[in-house]
């Protein structure tokens, strides 16, 4: 199955774009893969600006506005359906508001990707506060991370919690 890799996080500045860029770098330059790139924040579109010329396809889709989430999710899924046969992987750099716009649509996303024989994966970047862990926990229990069998949470090692990371790692 071809991967669709989502770079997610609870706010701006946690490393979502850096993770997405590293995924693109690894896939394009080290793996000689044909990829598609989606920037979920159309106002910045930093990953498509950096890697778009090296990708088989790239686009920016405004996934940041909660009032437009249904239209935006449909646009994202239509784009993925359109390009998935021509690429080896798809990297989606989600906006800071993805917990409000993308996470509630996790089941629709999972089902659509499954129907296309695509494998959703997620890298969730968290900052060093309890709000970050609440958002991380929510995504892993009710949001997009639930739809992904391959999940990775990136969090500062110095942050102590109540065992959340261990519980997330032990989930099937």
Domain of 52, CATH number, reads 3.40.50.300
Domains identified in the chain, total number: 1
Phi and psi angles of residue 3, each rounded to the nearest 5 degrees, phi first = -85, 145
Whether residue 153 contacts residue 14, with contact meaning beta carbons closer than 8 Å, is answered with no
Residue 126: the pLDDT is 81
Distances (CA, A) of 166 to 128, 163, 169, 170: 16, 5, 5, 6
Question: Residue 118's domain spans which residues?
Answer: 2-170
In this prediction, residue 170 carries a pLDDT of 60
Side-chain half-sphere exposure of 13, counting CA atoms within 13 A: 3
pLDDT of residue 162: 58
Structure tokens at 69: 């989430």
Which DSSP string corresponds to 55-111?
A: SSEEEE-----GGGHHHHHHHHHHHHHHHGGG-SEEEEE--TTHHHHTGGGHHHHHH
Local mean pLDDT, 10-residue blocks, the chain (172 residues): 90 79 85 86 85 89 91 96 95 90 93 97 83 82 90 69 59 54
């Amino acid at each position: 199955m071809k991967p669709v890799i989502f770079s997610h996080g609870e706010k701006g500045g946690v490393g979502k774009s850096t993770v997405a860029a590293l995924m693109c770098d690894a896939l394009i330059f080290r793996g000689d893969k044909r990829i598609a790139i989606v920037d979920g924040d159309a106002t910045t579109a930093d990953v498509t600006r950096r890697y778009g010329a090296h990708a088989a396809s790239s686009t920016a889709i405004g996934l940041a506005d909660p009032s437009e989430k249904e239209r935006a999710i449909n646009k994202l899924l239509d784009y993925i359906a359109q390009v998935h046969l021509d690429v080896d992987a798809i990297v989606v750099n989600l906006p800071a508001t993805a917990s409000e716009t993308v996470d509630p649509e996790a089941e629709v996303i999972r089902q659509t990707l499954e129907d296309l024989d695509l494998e959703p994966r997620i890298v969730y970047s968290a900052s060093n506060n309890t709000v970050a862990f609440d958002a991380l926990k929510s995504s892993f229990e009710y949001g997009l991370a639930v739809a992904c069998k391959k999940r990775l949470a990136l969090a500062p090692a110095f942050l102590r919690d109540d065992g959340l990371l261990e519980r997330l790692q032990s989930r099937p």
